[in-house]
Amino acid sequence: MLKNIVIAVQAALIAFGCLWAYLYQHRVDQIFLTYKMNMTANDSRLLVKIAQRIESGQSEEAAKMLRRVATTNAGEIKNDISKLDFRMDDLVSDARDAGKMLEEVGINDVSQALKEREKEAGP
């Protein structure tokens, strides 16, 4: 009788744990989804503002805005490199691809930071 009660309590705890894990994962997914929505909205707003500047003849100001955004984004990527786990080769490859994309437009900081971090991480 006592064994059955213990088994029932354990089964209830496992079921509760599974439910909590599912709900927690769902919450995390929703957080990332709304973050992506907000970032996309922010990017869209910036692009519209830049388009308005270009249309009003302020193309130099629009170019400065774009360069500042690119520089800021590259700086954020450099900061994220410190958190990159170099044991995950496929993700490191993706990070290298990001560095190559930025090299194409003259921003070499990300690729350089990746190389330095990879040396620190070792084999």
Q: What is the pLDDT of residues 7-57, one digit of tens each?
A: 999 999 999 999 999 999 988 889 988 888 888 888 888 889 999 999 999
Write down the pLDDT at residue 55: 92
Compute the distance between CA of residue 47 and CA of residue 65 in angstroms, rounded to an integer. 10
Write down the pLDDT at residue 100: 93
Residue 77, Cβ neighbours under 10 Å: how many? 19
Q: Which residue type does 92 have?
A: V
Res 122 pLDDT > 80: no
Per-residue tokens: 104: 């194409």
109 and 72 Cβ atoms separated by less than 8 Å: no
Residues 1 and 52 occupy one common structural domain: yes
Res 123 pLDDT > 70: no
Residues 64 and 116 occupy one common structural domain: yes
Q: What is the mean pLDDT of residues 83-105?
A: 89
Q: Which of 16, 34, 57 is the last residue of a domain?
A: 57
Write down the pLDDT at residue 88: 86
67 and 102 Cβ atoms separated by less than 8 Å: no
Domain that holds residue 64: 59-123
Write down the pLDDT at residue 17: 93
Domain count, the chain: 2
Residue 110, Cβ neighbours under 10 Å: how many? 24
Residues 25 and 67 occupy one common structural domain: no
Residue 69 neighbours by CB under 8 Å, 6+ apart: 46
Residues 53 and 64 occupy one common structural domain: no
Write down the pLDDT at residue 87: 86
Residues 78 and 106 occupy one common structural domain: yes
Residue 59 neighbours by CB under 8 Å, 6+ apart: 53
The pLDDT tens digits for 56-92 are 999 898 889 888 888 888 888 888 888 888 888 888 8
Residue 42 neighbours by CB under 8 Å, 6+ apart: none
In whole angstroms, how large is the CA radius of gyration of the chain? 24
